[in-house]
Copies of this chain bind each other. A is one copy, B any other.
Amino acid sequence: MTTPAPPPDQTLAFQAHDHSHCCGDLIARAQVIAGERGARLTPVRRRVLEILLEHHRALGAYEVLERLGQDGFGNQPPVAYRALDFLVEQGLAHRVARLNAFIACTHPGQDHSPAFLICRNCQAVAEAPGGGIHAAVETAASLLGFAVERTIIEALGLCPACQEAVE
């Protein structure tokens, strides 16, 4: 599974950008992607995706849930978890294991197993191109005869902005 040259939006989370644009754009693409797969982007699901898109950081299910409740949706955990599970299945969002939290996918539609870069200072999360990393995991695993099905790649550290801000 090789990854072509990274598209220009890879550093999105770590750069200034027209955020309202990137949100609206991704919602529209999500609508299309879901339609193609015969899945329905219902109001709750759409709202959850919007909530995730309002940030470039991972949100806990209960953070999402609180906003859902404010918007008149159900405010019990399964409401949030079901919508989040749907978005993850459709590749529209990802789960960040380290944070027990969820984040909108910044380039949906492509089949990808992402590598996350998590800033410990500002909590921003970016998706890095993961091709080379996955190849390295495959190599290491095959030495032990292990058959990889899925990988979790998460790096903790400092984003460009916070490297200057923090000592």
Contacts and interface: CB of A to CB of B under 8 A. Distances in A.
Interface of A: 1, 3-4, 6, 10-11, 14, 97-98, 115, 117, 119-120, 126, 128-130, 132-133, 135-160, 163
Contacts of A156: 148-152
A119 B135 CA distance: 19
B151 A154 contact: yes
11 contacts: A11-B145, A14-B145, A97-B154, A115-B140, A117-B148, A128-B141, A128-B146, A146-B160, A149-B155, A150-B157, A152-B156
Nearest to A134: B136
A143 B10 contact: yes
